[in-house]
A and B are shown apart, each in its own frame.
Chain A
Amino acid sequence: MAKKLLIPIIIVLTVFVLAGIPQLISVDGNGVVFNWRVSLDSAVNYLKGLPSGQSFLFIARKMPRNFLDLFPGYTLTSFIYLVIAAFLGLNLGIILGMFCSRLRSAVFKDAIGLFGIIPDFIIVLLLQRGVVYIQKATGIKVAKVVAMSLTEPAILLPLITMSLIPALYLIRTVSNHTDFVLSREYIQGARARGLAPLYIYLHHVFPNVLPFIKADMHKVAGMMLANLFIVEYLFNIYGITRALFYYGFQFVRYSYVVNYQYNFVVNVLFVIIFLYAALSLLMRGYILLLERKFCR
């Protein structure tokens, strides 16, 4: 019980400490200085400004804005991308992973492994490059390379990237677990009773692979969130992580000023942690649903 109470406290503390770090560490002359005072004051001011709503105000393009008005839109955008990508990635990863365990081809495993180490930003840049190449060669615009405005968002390429990351991870883990499950005696028993291979896969192998990947869901959610930062930034999607870098760390045009908005960053970090929790719960729920459906 005490531990359960401790976790939210640690999360809140981590957010305040992390948000204070850009103000804490700076350079003065030839050395690094630590401004404990400034970052502590920021945290105190945030807490003081909570009742009046002062802590939710921030500056966007030289205009004062309220975080409470803007964050539902940003969060929803990010959440929709995450949910669709999670749905595609989970199903693709599980199906292909179970199928892959039948393939013993080294080339295939090499390809999956190689794909797995390619970082997300390279996948994004290659996809963008590919679309431009196709357009130049054939004149057909297959997908939008980058969103130019809020009303015309890029959809296809971000979703491909975002579902590819969990899918590749799941293909590897699911095929390993399928190998393990297939060597168990109850599969032999099922075979001996003359059950069809497809039936065994659906009702014996599949439900026994699911618990392994259910335990991995928080990891997958973390990977997808890391991916979200890159995808929103490179495709110019108006989501919550893009907002963090556009308004939290503002590089001001025509001046050397670099603005850091402590209150805004704290608010966004809380939203991101909420998104993570929601996503991993949703994915666990989905796996649970599959378990119910296929367990006999």
Chain B
Amino acid sequence: MNIRLAVGIFLTALIVAVAIFGPWLAPYEVSDDKKIEWVETEDGMQMVFAPAPPSRANWFGTNRWGYDILTLLLYGARYTVFSVITVALVRVVLGGLAGLLLGLYTELKSPSFNFSCLGVLPLFVIVYFFVFGININSTLSPWTLVLLQVSLLSIFGIPGVAAVIQQKTGEIKKQEFVLAARTIGAGKWRLAFKHILPFLKETLVILAVHESIAVLNIQGQLGIFNMFLGGTVFTPNPMLFHSRTHEWAGLVGQAKNYVSANQWILAFPLLAFMIALVSLYYLSRGLEDYYRDKYQPYRHA
């Protein structure tokens, strides 16, 4: 029984479900805010100010402006989850294709000077430079901005995936069955898609999960620097940054200063973000275990 895979699939499915059905599950509308309200306690009626701590009415508490944090998380989940899945898939499909063809057509040599001078700067800084001009108080719609960021993150991830697949293809290419196929006259495309691709399937699946983790990290780092997925609202007085879409990295980023007071504003988005990471980690470990068991040489005694 592969516990890791079970946990990974269960948690990932849960998060995807939250992303799909989030707005229907949410206890409030995303625009509802409660700045002050009277609550009945043991000591009689008491006034509760925003930010209100977690209570029966607001499970995860409310933020500084009285918005229910659970509702924001449920509404924002779709942006985070689907952007991560899209970027990972695009990276793996296009990078995999490029790597497969590169591996087939070129001889493998030691990695030469490729993107090494871009490698000095972390990816999130490079993406920051790209989105700086379009992300803040943008007139574009949130979905357009999501699309732009998703394309940027995808494009920058393709070379990394391609390099891994190129190397793997180079190794498989040397095996006898490929030589045999070549001898009976298989063309390059047939070799690539009928003979080599089936052997890359596991690598590609695991790579997709790894890429999802990497994308989630980068979104989180961009969130810390106030570049939120789907647009940042910047107000100069007081100087504040808000996520337009309430995606999870944005909720963490805009709450990053709530370390010592009103901690629930940071704690719950951070918890959601970490659950997403942990579920992907267990999914990748579980898949690794699953494939290892599946392809392990059979023990006869």
By a beta-carbon cutoff of 8 Å, the part of chain A in contact with chain B is 3, 6-7, 10-11, 14, 18-19, 21-27, 29-32, 110, 113-114, 117-122, 125, 128-129, 132, 145-146, 218, 222, 225-226, 229-230, 233-234, 245, 249, 251-256, 258, 260, 269, 272-273, 276
The size of the chain B interface, using a CB distance under 8 A, is 48
CB-defined contacts of B86 to chain A, threshold 8 Å: none
Q: Are B130 and A233 in contact (CB under 8 A)?
A: no
Q: Which of A120, A129, A245, A273 contacts B225 (CB under 8 A)?
A: A245
Q: Report the separation of the CA atoms of residues A31 and B116 in the bound assembly, to the nearest whole angstrom.
A: 33
Q: At the interface, yes or no: B234 with Cβ under 8 Å from chain A?
A: yes
Q: Are A145 and B260 in contact (CB under 8 A)?
A: yes
Q: Report the separation of the CA atoms of residues A26 and B136 in the bound assembly, to the nearest whole angstrom.
A: 10
Interface centre among A14, A27, A119, A249, by most B CB within 10 Å? A119
Q: Are A121 and B221 in contact (CB under 8 A)?
A: yes
Residue in A closest to B277 when the chains form the complex, CB atoms = A117
Q: Which of B133, B280, B285 contacts A22 (CB under 8 A)?
A: B133
Q: Which of A24, A25, A252, A276 contacts B120 (CB under 8 A)?
A: A276
CB-defined contacts of B113 to chain A, threshold 8 Å: 3, 6-7
Q: Are A272 and B120 in contact (CB under 8 A)?
A: yes
Write out, one digit per residue, whether chain B residues 201-235 have a CB within 8 A of any chain A CB (1) or not (0): 00000000000010011001100110000000010
Interface centre among B125, B140, B285, by most A CB within 10 Å? B125
A-B contact pairs, 8 of them (CB 8 A): A14-B118, A21-B133, A121-B221, A121-B224, A129-B263, A222-B120, A225-B122, A226-B125
Chain B's nearest CB lies how many Å from the CB of A235? 11
Q: Are A125 and B266 in contact (CB under 8 A)?
A: yes
Q: Which of A23, A30, A128, A255 contacts B236 (CB under 8 A)?
A: A255
Write out, one digit per residue, whether chain B residues 103-122 have a CB within 8 A of any chain A CB (1) or not (0): 00000000001001111111
Residue in B closest to A24 when the chains form the complex, CB atoms = B133
Q: Which of A27, A119, A125, A225 contacts B256 (CB under 8 A)?
A: A125
What 10 pairs across the A-B complex have the smallest Cβ distances? A226-B122, A26-B133, A22-B132, A119-B217, A128-B259, A25-B133, A132-B260, A21-B129, A276-B120, A11-B117
Q: At the interface, yes or no: B81 with Cβ under 8 Å from chain A?
A: no
Within 8 A of A (CB), among B47-104: none
Q: Report the separation of the CA atoms of residues A7 and B274 in the bound assembly, to the nearest whole angstrom.
A: 40
Given A32-B140, A230-B224, 17 additional A-B pairs, CB 8 A: A3-B113, A7-B113, A21-B129, A21-B130, A27-B134, A27-B139, A32-B148, A118-B274, A121-B220, A125-B256, A125-B259, A218-B116, A225-B122, A230-B221, A260-B132, A269-B121, A272-B120
Chain B: interface secondary structure? Answer: helix
Chain A: interface secondary structure? Answer: helix
CB-defined contacts of B125 to chain A, threshold 8 Å: 226, 229
Q: Which of B129, B137, B213 contacts A256 (CB under 8 A)?
A: B137
By a beta-carbon cutoff of 8 Å, the part of chain B in contact with chain A is 113, 116-122, 124-126, 129-130, 132-134, 136-140, 148, 213, 216-217, 220-221, 224-225, 234, 236-237, 239, 252, 256, 259-260, 263, 266-267, 270, 273-274, 277-278, 280-281, 285
Known: A10-B117, A21-B130. A222 touches B122 (CB 8 A): yes
Q: Are A18 and B126 in contact (CB under 8 A)?
A: yes
Residue in A closest to B270 when the chains form the complex, CB atoms = A125
CB-defined contacts of B122 to chain A, threshold 8 Å: 222, 225-226, 229
CB-defined contacts of B252 to chain A, threshold 8 Å: 125
Chain B's nearest CB lies how many Å from the CB of A135? 8
CB-defined contacts of A32 to chain B, threshold 8 Å: 134, 140, 148
Q: Which of A6, A122, A269 contacts B270 (CB under 8 A)?
A: A122
Q: Report the separation of the CA atoms of residues A110 and B8 in the bound assembly, to the nearest whole angstrom.
A: 13
Q: Report the separation of the CA atoms of residues A11 and B130 in the bound assembly, to the nearest whole angstrom.
A: 18
CB-defined contacts of B132 to chain A, threshold 8 Å: 21-22, 249, 260
Q: Report the separation of the CA atoms of residues A234 and B253 in the bound assembly, to the nearest whole angstrom.
A: 11
Q: Are A234 and B224 in contact (CB under 8 A)?
A: yes
CB-defined contacts of A252 to chain B, threshold 8 Å: 236
Chain B's nearest CB lies how many Å from the CB of A146? 8
